[in-house]
Amino acid sequence: MAANGEEQQSQAGRHQEVGHKSLLQSDALYQYILETSVYPREPECMKELRELTAKHPWNIMTTSADEGQFLNMLLKLINAKNTMEIGVYTGYSLLATALAIPEDGKILAMDINRENYELGLPVIEKAGVAHKIEFKEGPALPVLDLMIEDGKNHGTYDFIFVDADKDNYINYHKRLIELVKVGGLIGYDNTLWNGSVVAPPDAPMRKYVRYYRDFVLELNKALAADPRIEICMLPVGDGITLCRRIK
């Protein structure tokens, strides 16, 4: 009985700090999802990239395996072909997308760090999907502005995934709503931001969590009020909000 109490106390302490990666009540429940549903169906190339990324010092930035599985199925359900990704890191979500879209599908992938992308590129090449990816190094906003200036890009994207600088999410949305087609989807990652969106101001948080928290709250409020989209916020990974353009 005492041992059980100590275990519960340890578990409570483990999740006390806002910033814990899992949004579920326990690590055991999350592990159950991974081992029962995700890992047995994870393509070998995605497993290889996930394990490679786990050794990187910034591995907290990667898309979780359950979210990668979700994105892969979602893209197939909507028959996405022309896609965009802002924020690539080592390319786990990028690989999930590339595997889901057809052989002639395209992904415009943007990130400020080519080195991280090239870390995962050999795995993507071995998977035979690198030809679907156009990678652009640098800030995404100037690229998006140029695309909007060229009217032929308006409403041409089936799916856009954003997992980048949270302080620019609002700026991305202002532009991406012009580029996604009516009926297409934009997915904003980290919209529950380690659970900090419901935390009191004096709650213990990691510095980066506290810094970006207000930007995430601002985005969530703006998306909920945007009449051009339908939204669905899901507690997958660190929270993902899907926005379907309706006009």
How much is the pLDDT for 20?
40
Instruction: Identify the CATH class of 27-245.
Output: alpha beta
CA distances from 65 to 9, 82, 99, 122, 193 (A): 28, 23, 14, 19, 17
pTM: 0.90
Query: How big is the chain by its Cα radius of gyration, in Å?
Result: 18
How much is the pLDDT for 22?
61
How much is the pLDDT for 213?
96
Domain extents in the chain: 27-245
User: Tens place of pLDDT for every residue, the chain, 247 residues?
Assistant: 444 444 443 443 343 333 345 678 788 899 999 999 999 999 999 999 999 999 999 999 999 999 999 999 999 999 999 999 999 999 999 999 999 999 999 999 999 999 999 999 999 999 999 999 999 999 999 999 999 999 999 999 999 999 999 999 999 999 999 999 999 999 999 999 999 999 998 899 999 999 999 999 999 999 999 999 999 999 999 999 999 999 9
How much is the pLDDT for 9?
38
